[in-house]
Chains A and B, each alone.
Chain A
Amino acid sequence: GENVEQHPSTLSVQEGDSAVIKCTYSDSASNYFPWYKQELGKGPQLIIDIRSNVGEKKDQRIAVTLNKTAKHFSLHITETQPEDSAVYFCAASSTSGTYKYIFGTGTRLKVLA
């Protein structure tokens, strides 16, 4: 079935450094790839998304890249700050069939001050 792999599961970086989280999806029909930040006890918050018709999207310190051929997409956070510490989830979806989101397993990011 459809699957999204996410790496690493935990990531510690020094404040000001960059963080990169990678996901790989299996369903070639996937065309929409959102990233969510989840803080303890809260619901997932959309931080950036990318559609399959572009290869990169940037929003201030956050960027996402997509390689459709390799079925990879990555989240890049630059100039990390302590408030970036959270769990990040990637997801992949398509509009064929059920409209489901297939979530990655999550990455716990710690930004050390």
Chain B
Amino acid sequence: GAVVSQHPSRVICKSGTSVKIECRSLDFQATTMFWYRQFPKQSLMLMATSNEGSKATYEQGVEKDKFLINHASLTLSTLTVTSAHPEDSSFYICSARDRLSSGIYNEQFFGPGTRLTVL
């Protein structure tokens, strides 16, 4: 089946530093990947849609200069949290859409998530 990996699985950093999270589709190519943030006991909130070879589309209220997204290949999207602060501590989850999917139904595959803790 389609597998999406994330690296690292958890990261702890100091306030003010930048952190990069990778999302990889392991056995399929993904022209579109999605980044979500999930706070404790809450649902997944879409942050941005990452499109291979073009700029990401950010949801309302998400700072694009703070959450930098790069989708440089068909199997890799990265999310960089710049100048991280304690309020950025969260569970970040990516998903990917298979480039070869039929297009009729929007099936996506989710990664295992990355736990970010900013001290």
Spell out A's residues near B (CB within 8 Å).
31-32, 34, 36, 41-46, 49, 51, 89, 93-95, 98-101, 103-106
In the bound complex, what is the Cα–Cα distance between A46 and B108 (angstroms)? 10
In the bound complex, what is the Cα–Cα distance between A46 and B43 (angstroms)? 15
* A44 engages B105 (CB within 8 Å): no
9 A-B pairs closest in CB distance: A43-B113, A43-B112, A93-B106, A32-B105, A103-B43, A103-B44, A105-B43, A32-B106, A99-B106
Task: List chain A residues, Cβ under 8 A from B42.
Answer: 105-106
CB closest residue in chain A, given B95: A101
B69 to A: closest C-beta gap in Å: 15
Query: Is B83 in contact with chain A by the CB < 8 A criterion?
Result: no
Given contacts A99-B49, A101-B34, contact A36 B43 (CB under 8 A): no
In the bound complex, what is the Cα–Cα distance between A32 and B110 (angstroms)? 16
Task: List chain A residues, Cβ under 8 A from B49.
Answer: 98-100
* B46 engages A95 (CB within 8 Å): no
Task: List chain B residues, Cβ under 8 A from A89.
Answer: 43-44
Q: State the majority secondary structure of interface residues on B.
A: strand
In chain B between 83 and 103, which residues have their CB closer than 8 angstroms to a CB of chain A?
93, 95, 97, 103
In the bound complex, what is the Cα–Cα distance between A78 and B57 (angstroms)? 40
Q: Can you identify 27 A-B contacts, CB atoms within 8 angstroms?
A: A31-B106, A32-B107, A41-B115, A42-B112, A43-B6, A43-B110, A43-B112, A43-B113, A45-B110, A46-B109, A46-B110, A51-B105, A89-B43, A95-B103, A95-B106, A98-B49, A98-B57, A99-B97, A99-B108, A100-B49, A101-B44, A101-B46, A101-B95, A101-B106, A105-B42, A105-B43, A106-B43
CB closest residue in chain B, given A87: B41
CB closest residue in chain B, given A9: B41
Task: List chain A residues, Cβ under 8 A from B32.
Answer: 99
In the bound complex, what is the Cα–Cα distance between A42 and B93 (angstroms)? 9
